[in-house]
Chain A
Amino acid sequence: MISTEQLYQTLKQHFRFTDFRAGQLDALTALSAGQNTLAVLPTGAGKTLIYELYGVVTQKLVLIVSPLISLMQDQVTALTVKGEKRAAALTSLMTYSEKNWVLRHLSEYRFLFVSPEMLSQDQILSAFQRVQIGLLVVDEAHCISTWGPDFRPEYLLLGQIRHQLGDPLTLMATATATQHVRDDIKQKLQLPQATEIVEPVDRQNIFLSVERFDTQNDKNDRLIELVAKLKKPGVVYFSSKKKANEMAELLTAKTNSKVAAYHADLDPETRFKVQQQFMQDQLDVICATSAFGMGIDKNNVRFVIHYHVPSDVESYWQEIGRAGRDGEQSVAILLYQSGDEQIAQFLSEATIPQDNEIHYYFQQNAPQIAGDEKANLIWFYKQHGYREDQLQAAFAKRREQRLLALRKMMGYLRTTACKRRYIQAYFDQLKGDDHLPKHCCSSDEPQPDFKGLGLLASTADSAAANDPQNSNTEWQAILTRLFNFAGHQSGAL
């Protein structure tokens, strides 16, 4: 049993903090007492600190199941930057020899990240069976519920995999989960008794706004206007990579802001540069798809704008949670054009196979060519003993769930009552009226007073103004800065 003093001591010595943020200590205390724990902490509350600190205190291997390769790489890099060299991500990007090397040296690692697909491979699973896992972390645990059946079904195997790993102590971490999703996570991981640590998901410093448009041109004009006048930095989310690229170009042309697109198609060099420019306040606005966000730890994001309607409230809340992590006033604006919900519905259902597709693929005796996701999905279920009719019923149910989730999202944007209370109710955390901030949402203030909220840009805020690369972009100046040549010369004197 680890004492509270030990936890505080490590927090101070290793992480250089004096206090835990809400929920962290509770989760650590539960884990220290050997209780499997489901922690629902808002974005930016420091979920990673929980397992990092646990790993440091216990000196045991922490295995983190994580949904995205880019997220895993960011987390490994973040640990390495902090001085923890015993961290690695087992991903499909690794070469055969690299993967083997890591698997042969598992016990030398403190933090290992792995996707559910990778972990369900026999070779990987049996390697982990040979070492003692101090803590199994299911990060972004809501994926088990929101992604499970029609996308990345390996998430559904995690309960069974956990048994095969000898039932290690488990932390399920997520930023957003309704009671229903929490129950679903615990049920699928076969941990119905897990301790729940639930912090309020509401973010009082984010003004919630929805604006409606009749045409796409009107919406584009408004986006340009908002980006030009709002205090930066900010993030604009899109449902498609193509749109993110287009609008990054348009915003660059029509505003004085430095804008870049960020999505899964970027090569690693570009991805790194955009991410680092944004972190170092050399970029005002990022036009992103949902690939951006998880893993980006930036405190001063002042606005998150959605150009398309997300397909469920969880995704929306997760994404606007990038705003105002520093506690300062920020704003989340959803730009809605009638008919946008059809895009959301299409995207939300696109991964769910139809009856005739299920029937067709069920006749096949081998997985289809790589990249045919539906074929592989159905193959997965066939391999796991599902019958065709069972699968059709399961996907029909899934389609209904997705539709319901979208309706809830549409409810948020349509409600004329308080949007914050709508969210609180959605996450089963409804509170009294006295828990609402003075400036709350566009239901009360259809024309938000950005000036009053302190959210109007001044010229000094622009990245163009802070950007040292903008000061002198001659190659001579760049070289001098790169190799600290001025400093070098004076040092030599």
Chain B
Amino acid sequence: MDATQLITFLSPTAPRRLRVIENILVGKRTVSTLYWGMRYHQLSWLGYEKGLTRETMNQSVAELNERGWVIVDQTNAQLTDRGAAEQRRVLQSRYQPQYFNIRLVIDVATFWQRLLLATQVVSEQSYQNNQYYPLQVSWQVKQTIKRWFSHYHNSGLQGDFQAFWQTFFTQLPSKQATFMSRLLVGHQQPGETLTQVARDFGLGESEAKLMEVDLICQLAKRVSQTDNGSVHALLSGLKTPLISESAALTLRSFMAGESLQTISQKRALKLSTVREHLLEAAIMLPKEQFNFQRVLQPKLVAQMQDRLGAVPLDEWQFKQVEDLQVEFWQFRLLEILRSKQIDDKH
């Protein structure tokens, strides 16, 4: 997380919580992190930088502060006018991811390992060579590709792969196509490292990484849509659910009409855990897949609306409504619903 990337996550109109930004990047799935991550349109970055340290984060904040681009109040940061101008400049000049949502539903890192190795294997096969150094990948990926290759090796992989990559690169801007093609590994082509390609394109390391991951997301999307059987098979088993398995079970019972108490007893979960599961589902899933009305009775919504109607969503406070017959999680759920109704961009 360099300072340039951080600036894109901040806002000139409202202070943002640095810990939320950090937790999203590290991949912490607490309800509070997910809620604010949604508000900041940052959910698709969940777990993008698992190894991010507090130290690095603080360095980036300090850098923005020194340049007069942010005002930091404790652990909140807001862009100054100059910071907002810099943000506009960055958003225009720096590569911005378009396909990061894919990260939430496909294990793109494993997918890339598989595709890169499969491409190498097919390339070597095209030269009838079977003595070569394969890419070093995890054991699981190696086993998967071994099985994949023994299944498909006679089915015209050379043509399949040529056609797949040709189609993919053709629909990309040529700069991006070249960028990605230079990373590929094959017969007597060790491929270039990200650092090498970035240098040639005049990109910084973190921008190049961003572009690479976004291109891989786009590839994963393309592969999920292809009717090219051998290529499509590389995605097998890599779908990841939007919400945890446990939260999905809770949601299913809830949507089937069971009360929270019943779910809590049947699944031996604390009531608070059941509520967290439901909030996670409400945040992560499209709003049609969650029954908001069951928790938010029209009368209650109207009462809360009376108090909160004129207040911008991010300034809502539970204490404004706590004298009503309402629990915090219901309040949060209304926030989620409003967020999805007013700007459902995530």
Contact = CB atoms under 8 A, between A and B. Distances in A.
Contact of A81 (B133, B159, B161, B162): B133
Contacts of A270: 193-195
Contacts of A277: 190, 192
B189 A81 contact: no
B166, B180, B195 — most chain A CB neighbours (10 Å): B195
Interface string B267-282: 0000000000000000
B187 interface: yes
A479 B181 contact: yes
B89 to A, nearest CB: 25
A272 B183 CA distance: 12
Given A252-B199, A475-B178, A481-B186, A274 B193 contact: yes
A482 B195 contact: no
A125 B220 CA distance: 43
Interface in A90-120: 93-95, 98
Nearest to A82: B131
Given A469-B189, A483-B123, A276 B165 contact: no
A479 B189 contact: no
Interface of B: 113, 116, 119, 122-123, 126-127, 131-140, 158-159, 161-162, 165-166, 169, 174, 177-178, 180-182, 184-196, 199
A272 B133 contact: yes
A85 to B, nearest CB: 11
Contact of B119 (A73, A482, A484): A482
Nearest to B116: A269
B153 to A, nearest CB: 14
A384 interface: no
A268 interface: yes
B128 to A, nearest CB: 9
Contacts of B184: 478, 482
A175 interface: no
A488 B193 contact: no
Nearest to B160: A483
Nearest to A102: B139
List the 5 closest A-B pairs by CB distance, nearest first: A276-B190, A475-B181, A484-B126, A482-B186, A268-B136
A280 B188 contact: yes
Contacts of B169: 475-476, 479
A485 interface: yes
Contacts of A473: 178, 182
Given A81-B131, A270-B193, A481-B189, A469 B182 contact: yes
A478 B131 contact: no
Given A482-B119, A482-B123, A483-B161, 16 more contacts: A81-B131, A81-B133, A83-B131, A272-B135, A275-B190, A276-B185, A277-B192, A279-B190, A469-B182, A475-B174, A475-B182, A478-B181, A478-B189, A479-B166, A484-B123, A485-B126
Contacts of B190: 272-273, 275-277, 279-280, 282
B136 A482 contact: no
A385 to B, nearest CB: 37
A276 B159 CA distance: 26
Contact of B189 (A95, A275, A279, A482): A482
Nearest to B119: A482
A474 interface: yes
Contacts of A468: 188-189
Most chain A beta carbons < 10 A, residue from B116, B136, B140, B199:
B136
11 contacts: A93-B139, A268-B136, A269-B136, A272-B135, A273-B192, A469-B192, A481-B186, A481-B187, A482-B186, A485-B162, A488-B126
A8 to B, nearest CB: 24
A489 to B, nearest CB: 10
A86 to B, nearest CB: 15
B124 to A, nearest CB: 10
Nearest to B190: A276
A35 interface: no
Contacts of B174: 475
B139 A483 contact: no
A335 interface: no
Nearest to B181: A475
Contact of A475 (B137, B177, B194): B177
B195 A260 contact: yes
B215 to A, nearest CB: 12
Contact of A77 (B133, B140, B185, B193): B133
Contact of B158 (A272, A280, A488): A488
Contacts of B195: 260, 270
A280 B187 CA distance: 11
Nearest to A480: B162
A260 B186 contact: no
A260 B159 CA distance: 34
Contacts of A469: 182, 189, 192
Max count, chain B CB within 10 A of own CB: residue among A269, A279, A481: A269
A271 interface: yes
A484 B192 contact: no
Name the residue among A94, A269, A482 with the largest chain B CB count within 10 angstroms: A482
A275 B193 CA distance: 11
B123 A95 contact: no
Nearest to B199: A252
Contact of B139 (A94, A279, A282): A94
B122 A483 contact: yes
Contact of A271 (B136, B140, B185, B186): B136
Nearest to B194: A270
A488 B133 CA distance: 23
B84 to A, nearest CB: 32
Given A94-B139, A479-B162, A479-B166, A484 B187 contact: yes
Nearest to B180: A475
A396 B281 CA distance: 59
Contacts of A279: 190
Contacts of B178: 473-475
B298 to A, nearest CB: 52
Contact of A478 (B113, B135, B140, B182): B182
Interface string A239-271: 000000000000010000000100000001111
B157 to A, nearest CB: 9
B127 A484 contact: yes
A67 B289 CA distance: 53
Contacts of A83: 131
Given A273-B185, A273-B193, A484 B199 contact: no
A260 B162 contact: no
A198 B306 CA distance: 91
Contacts of A475: 169, 174, 177-178, 180-182
Contacts of B138: 93
A483 B184 CA distance: 11
A81 B122 CA distance: 16
B199 to A, nearest CB: 7
A492 B270 CA distance: 67
A180 B184 CA distance: 49
Contacts of B119: 482
B131 A483 contact: no
A481 B123 CA distance: 9
Nearest to A277: B190
A135 B136 CA distance: 27
A57 B182 CA distance: 44
A81 B196 CA distance: 27
Nearest to A88: B139
Interface in A260-307: 260, 268-277, 279-280, 282
